[in-house]
């Protein structure tokens, strides 16, 4: 079995930066990633064609190209299309099991870095399961990886990603029909005092204003303070209905791209049983990590948005910090060298994080998303409604895990990725208990569905080799 | 280069190596499957392998279209969930 010093899961900014710095320090490093090319979602396809679209995607996207080049130039091995489905802590490290094109394999690593990034926050509103409704992130992935603009699209929800995506679509020649935003002017004014002092906060504000100005130049209609969003259509999205300025409105469209911010992808950290805390500002659970990204389980690190949303630049430097500490723990760097290299990374990380409280307050999660109407589907896979979950709460169902027994919520193929937070929110509201007390789904391996064939091939020959026939 | 694949028995030409879910969307396919619970139509939602909405059937195996690339000769079928209105 292959043995390495460091196994990194995810080749986004955090994973690329961590692998590069650890490999440069002399560690043997493997990066496992599900995609055919490195970059993660934020820099998706940056080393394989996306870079040719910089005029559309903007220069921030190109920062990923530098990270990718550094990783390619390092001794770290990058495994593409590697779907990790099991991580087992063992003496001296972890065993990582993954499948590549359906063929399973296992790697042992002395240290593990989870760099699994973010997921779009679930956006349970009426009609969100209709074909033609996608996340804003999906809209951006189509642009980055395929140079494709979703046709006749309305962008709906809240967050600066909507502005960036709208501008990118306009530059690509297919501007969205409209931006329907759920935050209000009052939210934005209330957020203003949280704008971090110093140049960093102003820079983000100026960038945001620049995007808004470009939206106006493209003549893209923008409505804020929208409520009661609903995707209408029979068999597919045909329009978005909402109320704003005190009246019901409707826009006909073929695509609705939804966004309510992103949240840490905690699927692997949950399955490993790591400690998590509720983050009130991000309205999500965040794994508990120290200043180097080490989790509650010694030797298992988390960096990037998976450890709390802070964006791509923060992810890259958080990856460096984790890589440095891992190199130090394994004797490849002494403390003085580690600390010297860590200093600029820490400064950048602090600056990037300082702007989050402003963004969290300026673009709050819409009330209708936190507290969906009874008829709204919350679990897309098992087609369970908010009303079902509330009904079970009334029957005495206390926590997210119990809801599974009541009605299979969270037990479909997505394994709770797009309903977990909603179920926690509903139960917290129903029982009037804090989110930390309600908790989250218990996640179990395998992290992704696997076939019995994959399960049996990866386990059987190993046992025989080691002389433990079964 | 465009290569032939079949979707629900109909031949279509898709760009080789392109993301399969994106290529099907661009070719005008909206609904990739129907759900096992209610038979509702579904299509891609996250495009990053997390939501499992873009499931398709290739040679009898259920796969995530957004995690695959177009190759010549793919035989793609819609996974059929519960028939609409049945029992």
Rounded to whole angstroms, how far apart are CA atoms A24 and A73?
Answer: 10
- Write the Ramachandran bin of A299: left for phi over 0, alpha for psi from -120 to 50, otherwise beta: left
Stated as kind and residue range, the H or E segment containing A377 is: strand A377-379
Mark yes or no for CB contact A131/B19 under 8 Å.
no
How confident is residue A206, by pLDDT bands cut at 50, 70 and 90? confident
pLDDT tens by residue, A353-392 = 988 999 999 999 999 999 999 999 999 999 999 999 999 9
In this predicted structure, the answer to whether residue A464 has a pLDDT above a threshold of 60 is: no
Rounded to whole angstroms, how far apart are CA atoms A20 and A6?
Answer: 11
For A452, residues 6+ apart whose C-beta sits below 8 A from its C-beta are: none
Mark yes or no for CB contact B50/A137 under 8 Å.
no
pLDDT of residue A112: 98
- From residue A186, give the alpha-carbon distance in Å to each of A190, A225, A414: 6, 9, 36
Joined together, the tokens standing for residue A151 give 């046709």
Domain interval for residue B60 = 2-77
Mutate to test the interface with A, among B20, B48, B67, B82 (most CBs of A within 10 A): B48
Mutate to test the interface with B, among A124, A138, A414 (most CBs of B within 10 A): A138
Which chain B residue has its CA at the smallest distance from A44's CA?
B48
pLDDT tens by residue, A39-66 = 999 999 998 777 678 889 988 898 999 9
How far B42 CA sits from the closest chain A CA (Å)? 5
Rounded to whole angstroms, how far apart are CA atoms B39 and A342?
Answer: 54
Residues of A with CB below 8 A from B67's CB?
Answer: 34, 81, 83
Rounded to whole angstroms, how far apart are CA atoms A261 and A269?
Answer: 20
In this predicted structure, the answer to whether residue A35 has a pLDDT above a threshold of 70 is: yes
pLDDT tens by residue, A253-286 = 999 999 999 999 999 999 999 999 999 999 999 9
Average pLDDT, chain A: 94
- For chain B, which residues lie within 8 Å of any Cβ of chain A, measuring from their own Cβ? 18-19, 22-23, 25-26, 30-32, 35, 37-38, 40-53, 55, 61, 67, 69
Q: Is B85 among the domain residues?
A: no
What's the CATH superfamily of A2-119+263-357?
FAD/NAD(P)-binding domain (3.50.50.60)
In this predicted structure, the answer to whether residue A151 has a pLDDT above a threshold of 90 is: no
pLDDT of residue B86: 41
Residues of B with CB below 8 A from A83's CB?
Answer: 49, 67
Report domain extents, chain A. 2-119+263-357, 122-260, 371-438
The third-level CATH classification (topology) of the domain covering A122-260 is FAD/NAD(P)-binding domain (3.50.50)
Q: What is the mean pLDDT of residues A393-409?
A: 96
A122-260 matches A2-119+263-357 in CATH topology: yes
pLDDT of residue A48: 79
Rounded to whole angstroms, how far apart are CA atoms A208 and A445?
Answer: 40
Which chain A residue has its CA at the smallest distance from B63's CA?
A449
How confident is residue A468, by pLDDT bands cut at 50, 70 and 90? very low
pLDDT of residue B83: 66
Of A135, A236, A414, the CB nearest to B52: A414
pLDDT of residue A470: 39
Which chain A residue has its CA at the smallest distance from B61's CA?
A451
Q: What is the mean pLDDT of residues A163-173?
A: 96
Mark yes or no for CB contact A414/B50 under 8 Å.
yes
Is the peptide bond preceding residue A157 cis, with omega within 30 degrees of 0? no
pLDDT tens by residue, A217-255 = 999 999 999 999 999 999 999 999 999 999 999 999 999
For A30, residues 6+ apart whose C-beta sits below 8 A from its C-beta are: A2, A4, A6, A7, A8, A76, A77, A78, A79, A107, A109
Q: What is the mean pLDDT of residues A333-351?
A: 96
The CATH number given to A371-438 is: 1.10.10.1100
The CATH number that applies at residue B33 is 3.10.20.440
What's the complex ipTM? 0.96
Q: What is the mean pLDDT of residues B8-37?
A: 96
Q: Is B27 among the domain residues?
A: yes
pLDDT of residue A322: 99
Q: Mapping DSSP to helix (H, G, I), strand (E, B) and coil, where does residue A257 land?
A: strand
How far B18 CA sits from the closest chain A CA (Å)? 7
Q: What is the mean pLDDT of residues B44-48?
A: 98
> How many domains, chain B?
1
Q: Is B82 among the domain residues?
A: no
A102/A71: higher pLDDT: A71
Residues of A with CB below 8 A from B47's CB?
Answer: 134-135, 137-138, 141-142
């Amino acid at each position: 079995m292959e043995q390495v010093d460091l196994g990194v899961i995810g080749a986004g900014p955090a994973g690329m930066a961590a692998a590069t710095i650890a490999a440069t320090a002399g560690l043997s490093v493997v990066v496992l990633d599900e995609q055919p090319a490195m970059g993660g979602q934020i820099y998706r396809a940056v080393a394989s064609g996306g870079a040719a679209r910089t005029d559309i995607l903007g220069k921030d996207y190109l920062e990923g190209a530098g990270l990718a080049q550094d990783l390619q130039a390092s001794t770290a091995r990058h495994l593409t299309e590697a779907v990790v489905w099991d991580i087992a802590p063992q003496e001296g490290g972890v065993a990582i099991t993954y499948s590549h094109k359906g063929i399973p394999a296992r790697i042992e690593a002395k240290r593990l870095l989870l760099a699994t990034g973010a997921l779009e926050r679930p956006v349970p509103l009426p009609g969100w399961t209709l074909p033609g409704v996608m996340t804003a992130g999906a809209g951006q992935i189509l642009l980055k990886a395929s140079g494709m603009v979703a046709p006749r699209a309305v962008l709906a929800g809240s967050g600066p990603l909507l502005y960036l995506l709208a501008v990118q679509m306009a530059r690509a020649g297919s501007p969205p029909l409209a931006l329907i935003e759920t935050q209000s002017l009052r939210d934005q004014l209330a957020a203003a005092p949280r704008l971090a002092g110093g140049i960093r906060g102003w820079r983000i504000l100026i960038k945001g204003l620049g995007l808004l100005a470009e939206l106006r130049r493209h003549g893209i209609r923008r409505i804020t303070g929208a409520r009661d969003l609903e995707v209408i259509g029979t068999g597919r999205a045909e329009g978005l209905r909402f109320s704003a300025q005190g009246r019901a409105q409707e826009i006909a469209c073929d695509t609705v791209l939804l966004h309510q911010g992103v949240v840490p992808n905690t699927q692997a950290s949950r399955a490993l049983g790591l400690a998590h805390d509720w983050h009130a500002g991000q309205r999500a659970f965040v794994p508990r990590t120290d200043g180097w990204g080490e989790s509650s389980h010694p030797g298992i690190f988390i960096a990037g948005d998976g450890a709390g949303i802070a964006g791509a630049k923060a992810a890259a430097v958080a990856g460096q910090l984790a890589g440095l500490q891992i190199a130090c723990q394994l004797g490849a760097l002494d403390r003085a060298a580690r600390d010297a290299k860590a200093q600029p990374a820490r400064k950048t990380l602090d600056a990037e994080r300082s702007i989050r409280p402003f963004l969290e307050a300026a673009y709050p999660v819409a009330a209708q998303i936190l507290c969906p109407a009874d008829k709204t589907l919350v679990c897309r896979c098992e087609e369970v409604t908010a009303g079902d979950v509330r009904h079970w709460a009334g029957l005495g169902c206390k926590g997210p895990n119990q809801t599974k027994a009541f009605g299979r919520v969270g037990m479909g193929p997505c394994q709770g990725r797009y309903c977990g937070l909603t179920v926690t929110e509903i139960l917290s509201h129903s029982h009037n208990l804090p989110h930390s007390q309600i908790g989250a789904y218990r996640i179990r391996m395998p992290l992704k569905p696997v076939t019995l064939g994959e399960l049996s091939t990866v386990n059987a020959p190993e046992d025989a080799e080691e002389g433990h026939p079964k | 280069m465009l290569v032939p694949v079949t979707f629900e028995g109909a031949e279509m030409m898709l760009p080789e190596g392109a993301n399969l879910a994106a290529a099907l969307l661009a070719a005008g396919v909206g609904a990739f499957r129907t759900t096992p619970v209610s038979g509702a139509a579904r299509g891609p939602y996250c495009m990053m392998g997390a939501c499992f909405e873009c499931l398709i059937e290739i040679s009898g195996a259920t796969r995530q279209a957004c995690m695959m690339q177009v190759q010549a000769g793919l035989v793609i079928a819609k996974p059929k969930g519960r028939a609409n209105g049945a029992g």
